[in-house]
């Protein structure tokens, strides 16, 4: 059964252009001209590759009360995300083929595609390398201990060397752990006035410098999960110019919010790393526009109400973002920082390419993973209408623009809002 999307504003991140036209889908893939059985009239709205959201936390195994694969999949589909790349910081961590197999079996409940990263070290404790080879064979797309920085440089060097021999991608969290221990905001006047423990931006730079030195020594494939401060950008630039196989990402929250949004101890704005000063935010936005930073993700981290309704210092960090990623990213477009094709390279094409996944393109033969959206449609975010089990979004009651009108995975529609006329 072939479907034809007509009168679409096609967002083509590979060609770096947007154009009016039509797109035909057959047998789950983008196809050339031919007969059709169904027509979707896009009415001049944007049709783009589905978002590949790198760094999603799902609570299975161990914390299903916060988020399940089923609810995360529904949230993803409503947000235009067609592939979730999930983190291994579960209970227990995904550090063995058996646990990965369990997670992959549970992920079949999701209406969108699910890929998994695995732990770099056993139990994410930083002492002993995980079974990287077996985990690769079991389907892991990358290896990371997440926000638990591997303190022992010798162990990290061994992990990088072994990963290099297998062609595996290692994902690091640039942070100097002793400087950032116990911090919940970025240091500065605001942190002092609020009486909150802060971490200086130099901690990210120091962590990045160490990791890049080991990457240079081992020639491993490496990705920085979140670059959030201006001080880290020169080191990243030098590594790229030196020809190291290094890429970098950042979170939508660090691109669109700053340290002052914490205001009077609003715990929904407590994330890891903490929100940065406006100067850092703008520097990271500029690095994204330049292409120095490759990927943007939601870093979806569901927390229950009890974990957030605590004093700021004691509250759990993290925010949900699967449904808010697209409208939040529209802020960058409406502010003139990026055009839609450039933004979609960071949201879809670059993550897919770096992880060796299909998708992120409108080219013929690619999977028909698509999102139809209106970039200008205004609305007020209501966290209680989110499809995630957890509702901890910093965008609650915020005025936003950008509505998803339809999401397709392998040509099958997995999301259609009641108010949409597409």
**pLDDT at position 422 over 60:** no
User: How confident is the model at residue 1, as a pLDDT?
Assistant: 81
β-strands 370-380, 46-49: how paired? antiparallel
Dist. CA 288–CA 66, nearest whole Å = 31
**Percentage of the chain exceeding pLDDT 90:** 98
Average pLDDT of every residue of the chain = 97
* Chain centre distance of CA 343: 13
Digit-coded pLDDT (tens) for 216-239 = 999 999 999 999 999 999 999 999
pLDDT at 299 over 60: yes
Spatial distance between the Cα atoms of 353 and 29, rounded to a whole number of angstroms = 18
Q: What is the pLDDT of residue 420?
A: 44
The answer, yes or no, to whether residue 98 has pLDDT greater than 70, is: yes
Residue 53, H or E segment: strand 51-56
- Give the per-residue pLDDT at 418: 75
Q: What domains can you pick out in the chain, each with its CATH number? A: 50-361+377-400 (3.20.20.140)
- For residue 226, the model assigns a pLDDT of 98
Over residues 200-211, the pLDDT tens digits come to 999 999 999 999
The model's confidence at residue 419, banded by pLDDT at 50, 70 and 90, is: low
């Amino acid at each position: 059964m072939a479907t034809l999307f007509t009168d679409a504003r096609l967002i083509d991140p590979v060609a770096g252009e947007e154009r009016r036209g039509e797109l035909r889908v057959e047998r789950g893939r983008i196809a050339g001209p031919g007969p059709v059985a169904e027509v979707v009239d896009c009415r001049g709205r944007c049709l783009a590759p589905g978002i590949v959201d790198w760094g999603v936390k799902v609570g299975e195994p161990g914390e299903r009360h916060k988020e399940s694969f089923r609810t995360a999949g529904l949230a993803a589909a409503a947000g235009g995300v067609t592939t979730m790349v999930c983190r291994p910081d579960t209970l227990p961590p995904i550090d063995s083929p058996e646990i990965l197999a369990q997670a992959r079996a549970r992920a079949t409940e999701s209406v969108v595609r699910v890929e998994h990263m695995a732990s770099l070290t056993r139990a994410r404790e930083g002492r002993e390398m995980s079974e990287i080879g077996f985990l690769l064979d079991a389907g892991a797309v990358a290896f990371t201990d997440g926000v638990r920085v591997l303190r022992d440089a010798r162990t990290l060097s061994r992990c990088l060397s072994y990963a290099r021999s297998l062609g595996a991608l290692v994902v690091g969290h640039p942070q100097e752990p002793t400087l950032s221990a116990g911090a919940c905001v970025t240091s500065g006047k605001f942190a002092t006035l609020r009486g909150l423990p802060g971490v200086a931006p130099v901690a990210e730079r120091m962590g990045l410098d160490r990791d890049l030195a080991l990457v240079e020594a081992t020639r491993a494939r490496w990705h920085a999960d979140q670059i959030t401060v201006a001080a880290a950008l020169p080191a990243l630039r030098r590594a790229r110019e030196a020809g190291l196989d290094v890429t970098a990402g950042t979170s939508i929250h660090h691109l669109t919010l700053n340290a002052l949004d914490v205001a009077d101890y609003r715990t929904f704005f407590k994330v890891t790393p903490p929100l940065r000063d406006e100067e850092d935010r703008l520097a990271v936005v500029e690095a994204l526009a330049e292409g120095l930073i490759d990927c943007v993700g939601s870093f979806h981290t569901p927390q229950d109400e009890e974990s957030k309704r605590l004093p700021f210092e004691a509250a759990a960090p993290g925010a949900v973002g699967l449904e808010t990623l697209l409208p939040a990213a529209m802020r960058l477009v409406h502010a003139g920082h990026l055009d839609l094709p450039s933004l979609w390279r960071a949201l879809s094409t670059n993550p897919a390419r770096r992880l060796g996944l299909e998708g992120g393109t409108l080219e013929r033969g690619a999977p028909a993973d698509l999102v139809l959206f209106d970039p200008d449609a205004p609305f007020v975010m209501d966290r209680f209408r989110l499809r995630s089990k957890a509702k901890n979004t910093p965008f609650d009651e915020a005025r936003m623009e950008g509505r998803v009108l339809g999401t397709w995975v392998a040509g099958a529609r997995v999301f259609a809002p009641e108010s949409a006329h597409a």
